[in-house]
Chains A and B, each alone.
Chain A
Amino acid sequence: MTGHRNSIIFWGGVAVFLVAVLTMTQIVRNEYPFFAGYVILQFIALAVAWSILGGYAGYVNFGTNAFFGVGVYTAVALFKATGAPLVVQIAAAAVVGMTLGFGVGLLTLRMRGIFFSIATIALAIIIETFVMNWRFVGGAAGIQIQRPPVMAPFDSYVKMLFFVQAILAVTAISIARYIQNSKVGRGLQALRDDELAAECTGVPTLKLKLIACMISGALISAAGAPAAMYLQYADPFSAFNLTYSVSALAMALIGGTAHWIGPVLGAILLGSTQQFLAVTISSEVNVLVLGIMLVLFVVGAPKGIIGLLRPRYRLRAGGKP
């Protein structure tokens, strides 16, 4: 019964949030809140998507930037070739991200722990190198994007992107929440705690890992797809920037990965701090703050913010000292 009531509260919250976002795009004149809000929503999507593989399954993916960049460039290539609308770009990015996720999932067959993490960095660099040598999308120099006219009911493209990213973030959260409460999530947790034991007790570990990698990958690529339209520009160095990897990982771990709300909290907290710092001080300092927070939390509060807020999670997850 409580599960049912939780669901009603959750979907009610989602509806209220989306309506609020839509209303905000119609009322607020100033574009700046949408510029900043877009980035925070993007980080929510990235952190939540990262945590499906990194948090639930315990495979630390350093390749968030690979999926992000692939999303950006799928959208760019498609837009340049056919002028496809944003929805199609996002869908295509999700499909490509899912395919890449399948490949990464196969890596988990032979690699665990640090080897998996390093392999995902390797993948990111290799894809980036290919994009750098791909003339059609501008190569290393990057490419300018001319935004198409904005669709009703929005009066500016940034507002529309803000709304789109809100939908993507909500999608990521809903999927993460669903996985967490389903058999898949429990299977992933089992294989995170002890993969061999899980395999022996009949948990289909490979299938679950593939599912986690594909969903996580699709969500990250989808979240990256509108970035080129947002910046009106794309280049390999920023699309495949390792900062996306460290941000997604840090926000998820700082928030706590035992529950989907953790990455959301982490992304809101760090995302808004970063926006504030980037405007008031410098963009270097905000990466510094991110790194320091990550190290402090990993050392001092292994269960993240939700572990601090609700000791219950610490007790439940902390069977071992």
Chain B
Amino acid sequence: MFSIDLLLGAVVLGVLLGCFYAAVSVGLSVSFGLLDVPHVAHPAFLVLASYGVYQLNESYDIDPLLAGLAITPLFFLFGLLAYRTYHETFEKRGSDAAVRGIAFFFGIAFIIEVLIILQFGVDQRSVTATYIGKSWRFGEMRIPIRQLVAFAVALTLTALLAVYLSKTFMGRAIRAVAQDEEALRLMGANPVRIKQYAFGIATAVLGIAGALLIIVAPVEPTLDRAYIGRTFCVVVMAGLGSISGTLIAAIILGVAESIVLTLFGASWAPAISFAMLLGVLAVRPQGLLGR
């Protein structure tokens, strides 16, 4: 029953899955990791993006990746608005606001979930594209092409964001605001505007990530609950705000989930990310590559 081939297959699929997890988590790595916003609604935004892609794919037969790209500007604006609201009502008010900020995003997540249910129903939804449903064979191993597509796009997306944050002027400004907001203010920049922009970017990335989510597997309205564990696990394990750490942590999670799935079956899979998250929080809260 157990064989090296089986394990090797699980590891390969785990790496592919892990890169996909990196793509759905990088946004949170910016919004929570760099900006310290308790963005519990991140996975709900992600699922919302998937439904946006589904709608475009269903009504206009647009390729899911293109559809993801198309909703990106909309999500950018959405992110700007969300951060502005959060900042005006919570960040400005100080101490007690932290509790309410968390409750605020929790409430937003629920509203999105229910709105999706009211609009699309509770059934699973999936997209159609030429690369979905086929698979490649390597000897004993079969790898679905949808996984490979998601892997390639996810890797590109994560790399682009890493380059953006380290090479461009605005990217450096975002990292600067995460390091020392006050210093930035003294230099005459407006930290709130930079953070708002960064939150916009973090949300815009979800357009593509949402497309990947629905390419990899069908989505349902309450899928965000499972992804609370996965995304926060990845971001915390990575060390808050580290993009390369995000990739490494995501691959670790992907491989762990894939191996457990192969050895013990699907019923244990949901607990993996949460157990790893608890472990990391208890043992090494600063993450693998903590700042």
| Contacting residue for A287 out of B110, B268, B278, CB 8 A | B110
B178 interface residue per 8 A CB criterion? no
Contacting pair B38 A114 (CB below 8 A): yes
On chain A, the residues within 8 Å of B38 by CB distance are: 113-114, 117
B89 within 8 A of A: yes
Interface size on B, residues (CB 8 A): 41
A117 in contact with B40 (CB, 8 Å): yes
Whether B107 contacts A298 by the Cβ 8 Å rule is yes
Known pairs A125-B274, A298-B107; A118 contacts B228 (CB<8 A): yes
B111 and A298 form a contact (CB under 8 A) = no
* Partner pick for A110 among B103, B107, B281, CB 8 A cutoff: B281
Within 8 A of B (CB), among A117-148: 117-119, 121-123, 125-126, 128-130, 132-133, 140
Q: In the complex, which residues of chain A have a beta carbon less than 8 angstroms from the beta carbon of B95?
A: 193-194, 320
Please indicate the chain B residues that have their CB under 8 angstroms from the CB of A62 in the complex. 106
Instruction: Tell me the residues in window 10-66 of chain B with beta carbons closer than 8 Å to chain A beta carbons.
Output: 32, 38, 40
- A130 nearest CB across to chain B (Å): 8
| A265 contacts the other chain (CB 8 A) | no
Name the distance in Å between B91's Cβ and chain A's nearest Cβ: 13
- The answer to whether A126 touches B275, judged by C-beta atoms less than 8 angstroms apart, is yes
Closest beta carbon of chain A to B239's beta carbon, Å? 14
- Give the CA-CA distance A125 to B115 in the complex, in Å: 23
> CB-CB < 8 A to A128: which residues of B?
270
**By the criterion CB–CB under 8 Å, are A287 and B114 in contact?**
yes
> B275 contacts which chain A residues (CB < 8 A)?
122, 126
Q: Is B117 an interface residue (CB 8 A)?
A: yes
B140 within 8 Å of A (CB atoms): no
Residue contact A288 to B281, C-beta cutoff 8 Å? no
B184 at the interface (CB under 8 A from A): no
Q: How far is the CB of A224 from chain B (nearest CB, A)?
A: 19
| B110–A298 CB distance below 8 A | no
Which B residues lie within 8 Å of A295 (CB)? 104, 107-108, 111
* Interface pair B285/A110, CB less than 8 Å apart: yes
B3 CB → nearest A CB, Å: 24
Residue-wise, chain A 240-269 has the 8 Å CB interface mask toward B (1 for contact) of: 001000100110010000000000000000
A321 CA / B267 CA spacing, docked (Å):
49
Given A111-B281, A298-B107, A122 and B229 contact (CB-CB distance below 8 Å) = yes
Q: Note all chain B residues with C-beta closer than 8 A to A287.
A: 110, 113-114
Beta-carbon contact of A60 and B103 below 8 Å = yes
Other-chain residue from B99, B107, B268 in contact with A133 (beta carbon distance below 8 A): B268
Q: Is residue B271 within 8 Å, beta carbon to beta carbon, of the partner chain?
A: yes
Among A115, A291, A298, which residue has its beta carbon within 8 angstroms of that of B114? A291
Interface residues in chain B, defined as those with a beta carbon under 8 Å from any beta carbon in chain A: 32, 38, 40, 85, 89, 93-96, 98-100, 102-104, 106-108, 110-111, 113-115, 117-118, 225, 228-229, 232, 236, 267-268, 270-271, 274-275, 277-278, 281-282, 285
Interface CB pairs A-B, < 8 A, 30: A60-B99, A60-B102, A110-B281, A110-B282, A111-B285, A113-B102, A114-B98, A114-B102, A115-B281, A117-B40, A118-B232, A118-B281, A121-B274, A125-B270, A125-B271, A126-B271, A133-B268, A249-B103, A250-B107, A253-B103, A284-B114, A284-B117, A285-B114, A288-B110, A290-B110, A291-B111, A294-B103, A294-B106, A298-B100, A320-B94
With A60-B102, A114-B38, A294-B107 given, can you name 20 additional A-B contacts, CB distance below 8 Å? A54-B99, A114-B32, A114-B98, A119-B278, A121-B228, A122-B229, A126-B278, A128-B270, A129-B270, A133-B267, A133-B268, A253-B100, A284-B118, A285-B114, A285-B118, A288-B115, A288-B118, A290-B110, A295-B107, A299-B104
